[in-house]
Amino acid sequence: MTRNTVRLMALAGTATVVVAGLGTAQTAAPVARYEMRAGTTSGLLGGMGGGGMGAAMSMAFGGGGRNAPSHELWLELGSSRAAAGGAPKADHFMPAGVKLGVSVPLKTPVKAPAGPAEPPEKRDFKRPTGRILIFWGCGEHAPAGQPVIFDFAKIAAGQMPPGLWSNSVPMERRVSYASSRTYGAWPNADGNAAVKTDSSLLGAHKVAGNYTPDINFTLTRDFMGGLKTTTYPQPSGATLVRWNPLPEATGYHASLIGGKPGPDGEMNDLVWWSSSAAREFGGGLSDWLSPATVAKLVASKTVLAPSATTCMVPAEVKAAAPQFQMMSLYAYGPEETFVYPPRPANPKTPWKPEWTAGIRHRSMTGFLLGMPGMDEDAGGKGRKQNGQKQCQPKPKKRGLGGLLGGALGGALGGAVGGAADGSGSSGDGC
């Protein structure tokens, strides 16, 4: 189903409404759809966040040091109504425990007219000339046939190799600007509060505005716990990663992006590894996924089981990226869904919901694999092997961040560019 089809169905007032635990019914589309995404971030991500940049990031995330878990909260409201009595206005009224004040504003973005395109000759862009090396699966050694290698310059030119991106893990978003007649979101430029490390979502919530019916629901699940990791270098060159189990987790997924500089000092090789048993790098793996979707991914061994607490990064990954390995670990969590009025017990009774609402949870952490003091439990001390402290040279500035930004886009490049281009000193003389 295309985005335009979804938008037309929403505006026309007919849709197939799917609510977890309630089944599927062909009925009138709800007037309003509300979506919340709640996350816990730790490690390097506890300070820089798991997505987004700029002013929105500073409002979405609480403070805290590298090892102090932070919270993130993203809110989106979509409606088939136009705003009544002026400009669109909506607010989310929260329990006192959220510590964001009485309410936060759900701002409707204003689309600015597109300006003239910058002439190609004025663009400051250096086309990358390296390669992408793809690895996947937990284990001491990468299986035969790995890595799969793609030419970076061809990708930057728009020649995407088959199988690099997967469509089997969707970005499960119910609400968007494109599928709504009127739309509001937080964080935004009008918000000035930050989610605190001790904020709690539990309690009664209300969404009200001039383009939506009142939405009332009570949350019974709070932010997930924080992930903490410990890394253990192996004699083979592999690295065992261990993490604390989270009771709320429905599954786990780990990924790694690394690099290796060439003779010119530039990061010419990009190394990408996924904990999936199959070659799976779907975009949804770094998003909020429903428990039903995660259960299917666990069954296909795309996502690690909720009982998993370890994964071995193959030795060949470190050999391919000896100086920089940025690792992320996701724990997918529970969701709560609400609909009003509830679906009738008799399936033949017409059902016309006014609104639907839902919240999904996740926890994530990030750290530099193999860097002394950069795992969660290291406490600033380097891991030891055979009685010797293991030290890594400080990565050269420039290179990987720019390579990612130029070939894969600013979002991915920005997410790891800072760590890639300016991190790595252990601060203990290594």
In the predicted structure, residue 420 carries a pLDDT above the cut 80 = no
CA distance 249 to 337: 17
Strand runs labelled E in 44-181: 70-79, 90-93, 103-105, 131-136, 148-151
* Higher pLDDT pick, 348 / 253: 253
Q: pLDDT-derived band of residue 280, with 50, 70 and 90 as boundaries?
A: confident
E strands, 341-378, in order: 355-368
Question: In the block, which residue shows the tokens 């061809």?
Answer: 154
Bridge partners (DSSP) of residue 396 are none
- Order of strands, sheet of 229-233, starting from the edge strand that comes earlier in the sequence: 229-233, 239-243, 310-313
Lowest pLDDT segment from 204-213, 279-288, 289-298, 323-332 = 279-288
- Looking at residue 397, its pLDDT comes to 36
pLDDT at 369: 84
Dihedral over Cα of 96, 102, 105, 106: its sign:
positive
What is the tens place of the pLDDT at every residue in 82-113? 999 899 999 999 999 999 999 999 999 887 66
Confidence of residue 161 (pLDDT cuts 50, 70, 90): low
Q: What is the pTM of this model?
A: 0.77
Q: Which residues in 73-93 are b (16+ Cβ under 10 Å) and which e?
A: bbbbbbbbbebeeeebbbbbb
Q: How far apart are the first and last CA of the chain?
A: 54
At residue 164, the pLDDT reads 61
User: What pLDDT digit, counting tens, does each position of 1-26 carry?
Assistant: 444 433 433 433 434 344 444 444 44
> How far is the C-alpha of 344 from the C-alpha of 319, rounded, in Å?
59
Rounded to whole angstroms, the Cα distance separating 55 from 19 reads 33
124 vs 319 pLDDT, higher one: 319
Per-residue pLDDT band at 394 (split at 50, 70, 90) = very low
Domain limits, the chain: 125-167+232-334+364-422
Which is higher by pLDDT, 154 or 132?
A: 132
At a CB cut-off of 8 Å and minimum separation 6, what does 8 contact?
A: none
